[in-house]
C-alpha cells in the first residue's frame, strides 16, 4: 500500500517534469507564443539533451547543467551547458540547434557574431555528458552497487539460502541461466553467462530507472537508438568472435546447397551475410521502439490534458482524471515491458550465440 502511494506520488511529481506545457500554457512570453504542440513536447522529451530538465515554473527553467565536451578541429572544448542558456545563446562559436531540422538538439557552429547556423562549417565531435550519458552512468553505478553487495552476500554465506536483495535477484540469475542460456546455447553456455547476465540486468534496470519520472531516473536511455545500437553491436561482436568453423562455413559455403547458388553470383552467402547483420539490427530496433513507444504513450496521455485545457480549462481538469489513470495504467504495463524486453534481448542474443557455437557433427541431417 505504502509502495503504491509512493509510486503514484512519483508519477504525479513527474507531471512537473514535463517541460513545455507550463511554458506554453502561459502564452505571454516573447518566444513562447506558439500554441501547445504535443508532438514537439513528446519528441523533445524522449530525445537526448545537453541539460537535465527538471521543471519549468513560469519562465524559469529548473535544469541540471551537464558538461559539454567538444573536439573541434583537433581542439578540445570543455564547458558547462548552462553557457548556452537553454539554447538561447552561443558560446565559443557553438550553439544548440533549435530549428526543427536533422540537427535539432545537436551542437553546431555559428557564423561568428550571430546566432545563425554556419551550415558550411564542419560539425564538432560531440562527446558531451548528455542526459542519456548521465542515465547510463546512473544505471552503471546502480548495477555495480547492487551486484557487488549481492556477490558479497554469496561469498559471506556460501551454501545457504539467499537473503535480502540476493533473494530478489537470484531467481532472475537462475532464470537467465536455466531458461535462457542453457536451452539456447547448450553445453558452451557458461562462457556466455557473464555477458548475458550483464546484458539482461543492464537493460532491465535501465528500463526501470527510465520509468521513474524524476531525476535521476526518467532519461529515455534504452529508448535511444544509440544505446540499443551499442548493445546490439556487443551481441554482434560476441556472436562473430565466438563463431566456430561450421558457423562461418554455413555462411560462406553452406553445405548441401547447389553450387550455382554460390558461384558465379554468391547469392546464398549474400543472403546469409544479410541475415547476420539483420539479427543485431532487429535487436536494436525492437528495444528502441518498445521503450520509446511506452514513453510516447505516457507522454501522450499527459499531453491530452494540455490539449484539452487549451480548449477550456474545465475540460482539461476533466480529462486529467482519465489521462492520469491511463498514464498510470501504461506505466504499470511498462514495468512488464521493461522485463519482457530485457528478456527478449537476452534470449535472442543467447540464441545467436547458440547458432554460432553449435557443432554440426551431423551436418547432413540439417538439410
Phi, psi of 2 (to 5 degrees): -60, -40
d(CA 91, CA 125) in angstroms, rounded, equals: 16
Q: Which stretch binds another protein (CB under 8 A): 230-238, 267-275, 300-308, 309-317?
A: 230-238
Distance between CA atoms of 315 and 38, rounded to whole angstroms? Answer: 17
Q: Which is nearer to another protein, 173 or 351 (CB)?
A: 173
Nearer to another protein, 70 or 319 (CB): 70
**Please, how many CA atoms are within 13 Å of residue 228, restricted to the half-sphere of its CB?**
25
How many residues contact another protein, by CB under 8 A? 53
Q: Which of 216, 226, 266, 318 binds another protein (CB under 8 A)?
A: 226
How many residues are recorded in the chain?
A: 367
Write down the least CB distance from residue 252 to another protein, Å: 28
Between residues 225 and 324, which has the closer beta carbon with respect to another protein? 225
* Cα 131 to Cα 30, 83, 134, 219, 264, distances in angstroms: 27, 16, 5, 7, 51
Q: How far is CA 242 from CA 164, 182, 326, 330, 355, in A?
A: 36, 16, 45, 39, 10
What is the enclosing helix (H) or strand (E) of 156?
A: helix 131-156
| 174, 265, 270, 282: which one binds another protein (CB under 8 A) | 174
Contact pattern from residue 115 through residue 144 relative to another protein, giving x for each residue in contact according to CB under 8 A and a dash for the rest:
----------xxxxxx-xx--xx--x--xx
Q: Which is nearer to another protein, 198 or 246 (CB)?
A: 198
Q: Does residue number 65 form part of the binding site for another protein (CB under 8 A)?
A: no
Residue 94: in which H helix or E strand, if any? Answer: strand 94-96
Stretch that binds another protein, among 39-47, 75-83, 328-336, 337-345 (CB under 8 A): 39-47
Q: How far apart are CA 46 and CA 303, in angstroms?
A: 14
**What is the DSSP code (8-state) at residue 95?**
E
Binding site for another protein (CB under 8 A): 43, 46-48, 69, 102-106, 125-130, 132-133, 136-137, 140, 143-144, 147-148, 150-151, 154-155, 158-160, 170, 173-174, 177, 190, 193-195, 197-198, 202, 224-227, 229-231, 233-234, 292
Amino acid at each position: 500500500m505504502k509502495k503504491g502511494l509512493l509510486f503514484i506520488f512519483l508519477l504525479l511529481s513527474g507531471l512537473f517534469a514535463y517541460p513545455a506545457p507550463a511554458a506554453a500554457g502561459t502564452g505571454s512570453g516573447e518566444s513562447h507564443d506558439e500554441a501547445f504542440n504535443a508532438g514537439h513536447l513528446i519528441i523533445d522529451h524522449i530525445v537526448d539533451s545537453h541539460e537535465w530538465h527538471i521543471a519549468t515554473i513560469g519562465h524559469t527553467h529548473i535544469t541540471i547543467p551537464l558538461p559539454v565536451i567538444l573536439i573541434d578541429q583537433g581542439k578540445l572544448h570543455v564547458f558547462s551547458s548552462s553557457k548556452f542558456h537553454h539554447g538561447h545563446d552561443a558560446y565559443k562559436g557553438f550553439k544548440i540547434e533549435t530549428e526543427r531540422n536533422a540537427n535539432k538538439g545537436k551542437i553546431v557552429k555559428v557564423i561568428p557574431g550571430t546566432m545563425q547556423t554556419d551550415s558550411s562549417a564542419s560539425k564538432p565531435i560531440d562527446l558531451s555528458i548528455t542526459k542519456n550519458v548521465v542515465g547510463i552512468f546512473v544505471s552503471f553505478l546502480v548495477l555495480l552497487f547492487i551486484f557487488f553487495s549481492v556477490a558479497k552476500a554469496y561469498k559471506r554465506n556460501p551454501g545457504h539460502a539467499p537473503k535480502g536483495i540476493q533473494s530478489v535477484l537470484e531467481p532472475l540469475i537462475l532464470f537467465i541461466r536455466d531458461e535462457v542460456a542453457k536451452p539456447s546455447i547448450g553445453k558452451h553456455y557458461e562462457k556466455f553467462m557473464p555477458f548475458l547476465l550483464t546484458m539482461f540486468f543492464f537493460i532491465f534496470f535501465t528500463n526501470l530507472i527510465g520509468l521513474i519520472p524524476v531525476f535521476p531516473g526518467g532519461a529515455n536511455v534504452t529508448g535511444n537508438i544509440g544505446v540499443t545500437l551499442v548493445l546490439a553491436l556487443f551481441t554482434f561482436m560476441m556472436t562473430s568472435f565466438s563463431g566456430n568453423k561450421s558457423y562461418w562455413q554455413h555462411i560462406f559455403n553452406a553445405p548441401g546447397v547447389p553450387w550455382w547458388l554460390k558461384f558465379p553470383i554468391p547469392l546464398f552467402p549474400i543472403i546469409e551475410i544479410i541475415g547476420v547483420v539483420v539479427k543485431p539490427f532487429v535487436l536494436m530496433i525492437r528495444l528502441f521502439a518498445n521503450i520509446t513507444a511506452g514513453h510516447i504513450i505516457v507522454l501522450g496521455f499527459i499531453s491530452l490534458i494540455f490539449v484539452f485545457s487549451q480548449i477550456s480549462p474545465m475540460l482539461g481538469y476533466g480529462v486529467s482524471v482519465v489521462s492520469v489513470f491511463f498514464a498510470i495504467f501504461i506505466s504499470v504495463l511498462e514495468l512488464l515491458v521493461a522485463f519482457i524486453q530485457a528478456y527478449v534481448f537476452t534470449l535472442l542474443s543467447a540464441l545467436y550465440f547458440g547458432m554460432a557455437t553449435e557443432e554440426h557433427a551431423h551436418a547432413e541431417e540439417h538439410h
